[in-house]
């Protein structure tokens, strides 16, 4: 039996004081223990009525040289270093009280926060930790910046930065992230900027609290600080920022993250994409059955005993979830060997939209015809409405076909269908059909 990791919180409160990097405001943060399933929450205690801001990507308000979260008009700037320290410590449930709109920058790294959390100690709680685990690769890119996320049984980051600057060039590091590695290899890496950016940032109202005491400044021919903490401190700090931004998923991640030249903007887009994926119904844990009696999962043999479609027009490979008279979810693995790709289009294969709609309709057919009273009958299209083809479906894609019964009678039904590739909606439609004798 696999032993599951338990949730954790602090053994006692811990605090830290200083000034904010961008606002320059004096502030104090107090880390406090929190109950099971609380997650990570900031609380603005300087307000007449304190405002609680969960550390979730849905609350991100700005990504200008840092990550800002908020509720309504109440914001907290530059939270990524604190979040990275919490994740680095392996903490699940923490309340962070802040008496200003930006926590202290400390020395520009996560190490001071990590140290006060480490001194406070960890309390293990009696509830299993829930991880975010992928079942398929995910990627996101913009220009020459990329993040690829690969399923894994631990949290690993491989990161590359590349700058057209004689002192930096390209840097690469790869680590499995745990408490010891975070403390030794990542926590003390500091935020940085180029000397020629300083005046522009000041003009934008940023770095009011910045100095050589809390940031590495890179000049044209030298580093303005006395020395670097690591020869490749810059790529390590990019990893630190990524850890902080991914903490906004709301649960620890098991995956291998491969990042190339990314910053907060792409980090947050990735977090948003992953967060949206975890909000959708889980499609794991399938059990193959060859039983015609409708259950929650059906393989292709069982499907062929319910609907009459056969090659080359059977467009459902598996039913992975089903709730009688309500909804069904099917899978279509789109192979390059599909016969329609030969003519649609030569040299540029795209699955015809009408066949995606047909695949959704076949899932609906399984839902309707799998009922005992409908076995052996046929479902005919009556009408198709509200069709939207949002993204092309290509060889190698896996279609997730979700249908929901809007109306149902003994002989007719109305269904809403949506087709996804990963978490991307590619096609949707509504259709009516009639059930008739074969």
Taking 70 as the pLDDT cut, the residues of the chain under it are 1-3, 279-296, 410, 438
- Same domain, residue pair 362 and 426: yes
Regarding pTM above 0.85, the answer is no
Residues 32, 13 contacting (CB under 8 angstroms): yes
Q: What is the pLDDT of residue 296?
A: 63
Q: Is residue 196 part of a domain?
A: yes
* Phi, psi dihedrals of residue 3, rounded to the nearest 5°: -85, 125
Residues 198, 207 contacting (CB under 8 angstroms): yes
- Same domain, residue pair 217 and 317: no
The CATH code of the domain that includes 381 is 3.10.129.10
Residues 95, 32 contacting (CB under 8 angstroms): yes
Residues 100, 26 contacting (CB under 8 angstroms): yes
- Same domain, residue pair 254 and 307: no
* Phi, psi dihedrals of residue 403, rounded to the nearest 5°: -125, 145
- Same domain, residue pair 155 and 13: yes
What region does 348 belong to: left with phi over 0, alpha with psi -120 to 50, or beta? beta
- Same domain, residue pair 369 and 252: no
Q: Is residue 342 part of a domain?
A: yes
How many domains, the chain? Answer: 2
Q: Is residue 129 part of a domain?
A: yes
Q: Is residue 282 part of a domain?
A: no
The CATH code of the domain that includes 12 is 3.30.230.20
- Same domain, residue pair 35 and 155: yes
Q: What is the pLDDT of residue 280?
A: 58
How long is the chain? Answer: 438
Tell me which residue range forms the domain holding 216. 6-261
Q: What is the pLDDT of residue 291?
A: 34
pLDDT tens readout for residues 167-189:
888 999 999 999 999 999 999 99
Q: What is the pLDDT of residue 2?
A: 43
For 376, counting Cβ atoms within 10 Å of its Cβ (0-12 exposed, 13-18 middle, 19+ buried), the class is exposed
Candidates 128, 123, 149, 130; CA nearest to 138 is 149
Q: Is residue 277 part of a domain?
A: no
The catalytic site residues sit at: 264, 344
Q: What is the pLDDT of residue 332?
A: 93
Q: What is the pLDDT of residue 64?
A: 81
Q: 202, 231, 261: which is the final residue of a domain?
A: 261
Q: Is residue 126 part of a domain?
A: yes
pLDDT tens readout for residues 94-108:
999 999 999 999 999
């Amino acid at each position: 039996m696999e032993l599951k990791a338990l949730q954790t919180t602090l053994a006692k409160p811990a605090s830290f004081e200083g000034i904010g990097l961008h606002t320059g405001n004096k502030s104090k943060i107090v880390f406090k223990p929190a109950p099971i399933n609380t997650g990570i929450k900031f609380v603005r205690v300087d307000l007449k009525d304190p405002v609680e801001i969960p550390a979730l990507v849905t609350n991100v308000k700005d990504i200008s040289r840092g990550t800002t979260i908020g509720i309504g008009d109440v914001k907290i700037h530059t939270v990524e270093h604190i979040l990275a320290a919490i994740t680095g410590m392996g903490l699940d449930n923490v309340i962070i009280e802040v008496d200003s709109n930006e926590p202290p920058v400390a020395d520009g790294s996560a190490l001071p926060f990590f140290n006060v959390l480490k001194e406070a100690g960890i309390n293990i709680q009696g509830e299993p930790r829930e991880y975010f685990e992928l079942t398929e690769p995910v990627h996101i890119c913009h220009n020459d910046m990329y993040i690829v996320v690969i399923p894994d049984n631990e949290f690993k980051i491989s990161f590359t930065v590349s700058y057209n600057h004689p002192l930096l060039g390209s840097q690469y590091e790869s680590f499995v992230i745990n408490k010891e590695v975070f403390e030794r290899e990542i926590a003390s890496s500091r935020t940085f900027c180029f000397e020629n950016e300083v005046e522009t940032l000041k003009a934008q109202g940023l770095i009011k609290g910045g100095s050589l005491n809390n940031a590495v400044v890179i000049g044209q021919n030298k580093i303005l600080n006395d020395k670097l903490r690591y020869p490749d401190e810059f790529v390590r700090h990019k990893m630190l920022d990524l850890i902080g931004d991914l903490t906004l998923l709301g649960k620890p991640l098991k995956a291998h993250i491969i990042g190339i030249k990314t910053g907060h903007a792409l980090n947050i887009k990735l977090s948003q994409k992953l967060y949206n994926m975890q909000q959708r119904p889980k499609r794991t844990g399938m059990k193959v059955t060859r039983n015609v009696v409708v259950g929650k999962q059906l393989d292709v043999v069982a499907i062929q005993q319910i609907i009459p479609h056969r090659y080359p027009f059977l467009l459902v490979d598996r039913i992975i979830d089903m709730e009688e008279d309500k909804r069904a979810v099917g899978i279509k693995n789109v192979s390059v060997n599909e016969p329609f790709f030969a003519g649609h289009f030569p040299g540029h294969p795209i699955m015809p939209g009408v066949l995606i709609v047909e695949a959704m309709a076949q899932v609906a057919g399984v839902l309707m015809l799998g009922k005992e009273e409908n076995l052996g009958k046929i479902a005919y299209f009556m009408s198709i409405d509200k069709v939207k083809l949002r993204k092309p479906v290509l060889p190698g894609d896996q279609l997730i076909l979700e249908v929901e019964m809007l109306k149902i009678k003994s002989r007719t039904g109305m269904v809403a269908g949506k087709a996804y590739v990963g978490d991307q909606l590619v096609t949707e439609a509504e259709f009516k059909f009639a059930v008739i004798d074969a």
